[in-house]
Amino acid sequence: MTHRASSPELTKMREYPDRRSGAVRPSARRLLIPVLLAFVCAIPLLDRPVRAQEDDEETEEVTLTFSVQSFHENVVSLKFYSRDRDIVWPDDEEVYLLDDSEVHEFTLACEPGEQICYGAWVRGEGETTWGCGQDCDEDCEECCYIADDSETPVIRLNP
């Protein structure tokens, strides 16, 4: 039996080959050209400068969690100050309040390696302070920590 090239079976075989043969269907060929063109156009985007990657790393955030416990009989105000940027937590106008003797945790979003200090004071009074004080203008030992996705030991504010 002889098959001619114009027979419907052979035509169908050329347009839609068996999946095992690995041949590309005509409909897939039409999609292949735009996909290849898009890939070729995207190649310059892959050659990004190193500086852009460094900028991405600079905006990366880590956390630092402070655990603070006050044993003072009065309400204590608390703020956190960055030594590396002009940033205060919670912000310039607000403070965290410690009105019991429970351990309170404060998780701050920081830049990697940023030095963060705590300052605390008795609310309504400026004499009793801990850490770097109300405006972080006091010298302190062991009141600053480095941000690196870590937690501080419990900081105890004793009267």
* The domain over range 58-157 is classified in CATH as 2.60.40: yes
Per-residue model confidence as pLDDT tens for the chain (159 residues): 433 333 333 333 334 444 555 555 555 556 556 655 554 454 444 433 222 233 445 568 999 999 999 999 999 999 999 999 999 999 999 999 999 999 999 999 999 999 999 999 999 887 899 999 999 999 998 999 999 999 999 999 999
**Cβ(129)–Cβ(74) under 8 Å?**
no
3-state SS, 34-50, equals HHHHHHHHHHHHHCCCH
Where do the structural domains in the chain lie, given as residue ranges? 8-47, 58-157
* Residue 141: per-residue pLDDT: 84
**Cβ(19)–Cβ(13) under 8 Å?**
no
* Residue 125: per-residue pLDDT: 84
* Residue 25: per-residue pLDDT: 52
* Residue 71: per-residue pLDDT: 97
Predicted model pTM = 0.63
